[in-house]
Amino acid sequence: MTDAPPTKRKCLGADCDNDAGSLQCPKCLTLGVKDSFFCSQECFKRNWNTHKTLHKQETSIFDRIFPPKAVSKPDPETGYYNPFPNFHYTGALRPVYPLSPRREVPKTIPHPDYAEDGIPKLGRSMVRSNKVELLDAKAQAGMRKVCKLAREVLDIAAAAVRPGVTTDEIDEIVHKACLERNSYPSPLNYNHFPKSVCTSVNEVICHGIPDNRILLDGDIVNLDVTLYHEGYHGDLNETYYVGDKAKADPDTVRVTETARECLELAIKEVKPGTLFREFGNIIEKHAKAKNCSVIRTYVGHGINSVFHCPPNIPHYAKNKAVGECKPGMTFTIEPMIALGKYRDVTWPDNWTSTTVDGKKTAQFEHTLLVTETGVEILTARQANSPGGPVAVPTTEATTNGTN
């Protein structure tokens, strides 16, 4: 619903009484002017000579107040600002800076090797060789433990999701819950990621940075939690509905539940002998049946004493991933499913990945252990875990409010 322009909006053409269509002046968009809607390409062209004088005003105001490429003006009341005002955002979401100061982890908690300088070192030779590690009983126990703790932390964070809370507040909750479990929040400073959890709202595919934006009724938010505990990483994520509006919107529920189902269907096939490339076929088949697309840029990954290592698990069909499941392997499957196009655009923060058309996207992730007979879901939901499946509302139920 947030993707369509409001129907009462009028065309900006001076000689035109039509309602505006979805065409926005591209120059205005780059200037951060969000209301320049026209009814048609013809009207836009006809009015160009008068309309373009607006750009000069906008540009000169910007040039006077800010040095080139500077940030937008902080809100005088809150101090919040958009750090990339000239960026062509694909949807309605904007970053709300400043980010909170970096959260500290006491030295007594074991840190992964990238914690200081942001550069992961362990496992780089393995990434090159494509060799998948087989974990012995002791390592499997270590994985079991960290994944259980990661589930606890995700559930604590999920319980805080509601309209009005900021993603930075969720980051604080995750950070604190990690420390209480003698664990390092793995995302913190991993390749210089600035926060302890990824929070991905609406059109954000993954790697959203917690900031001062509040969650709104109608949003969906993915929380991607990874802990480092006693030498092992445990990684999982889920997408949550924010408020009742989100649960009442058929498209929002469709993309979220499809992502949840895609992961479940793929996990059913995890057992010795299954080819890694097969998971993408299963996932894309289901996504297509629900009229959704599969993001191709980001993949599932091996995980153990290294955060990201072989194998690669693409989520799209007809991929060329090499290798097969063997007992003792631990890896994630984490399909990202979109309502619109599968292509992605990354914000200038070099992390936040969004859909190219600004339509919603959802994701679910588990860390999995291949056993002799099948699979152990190391990050499995508990009986009291927040979230869980929601039925797609029918048009009738949403209009008369009886459901």
Q: Which residues form the interface with Zn ion (CB under 5 A)?
A: 224, 235, 237, 332, 365
- By beta-carbon proximity to Zn ion, the closer residue of 85 and 187 is 187
Least gap, CB of 142 to Zn ion (angstroms): 17
Least gap, CB of 236 to Zn ion (angstroms): 6
Phi-psi domain of 252 (left: phi exceeds 0; alpha: psi -120 through 50; beta: other): alpha
- By beta-carbon proximity to Zn ion, the closer residue of 36 and 167 is 167
308 is in an annotated binding site: yes
- By beta-carbon proximity to Zn ion, the closer residue of 82 and 183 is 183
Nearest to 387 by CA among 365, 354, 359: 365
The H or E element containing residue 263 is: helix 250-268
CA dist 267 and 110 (Å) reads 31
Check if the beta carbon of residue 278 is closer than 8 Å to that of residue 290.
Answer: no
Least gap, CB of 151 to Zn ion (angstroms): 12
Least gap, CB of 294 to Zn ion (angstroms): 16
Neighbours of 321 (CB within 10 A): 18
- By beta-carbon proximity to Zn ion, the closer residue of 12 and 154 is 154
CA dist 23 and 46 (Å) reads 14
Nearest to 342 by CA among 266, 283, 276: 283
235 is in an annotated binding site: yes
- By beta-carbon proximity to Zn ion, the closer residue of 16 and 223 is 223
- By beta-carbon proximity to Zn ion, the closer residue of 225 and 253 is 225
334 is in an annotated binding site: yes
192 is in an annotated binding site: no
301 is in an annotated binding site: yes
- By beta-carbon proximity to Zn ion, the closer residue of 238 and 261 is 238
Name the binding residues for Zn(2+): 224, 235, 301, 334, 365
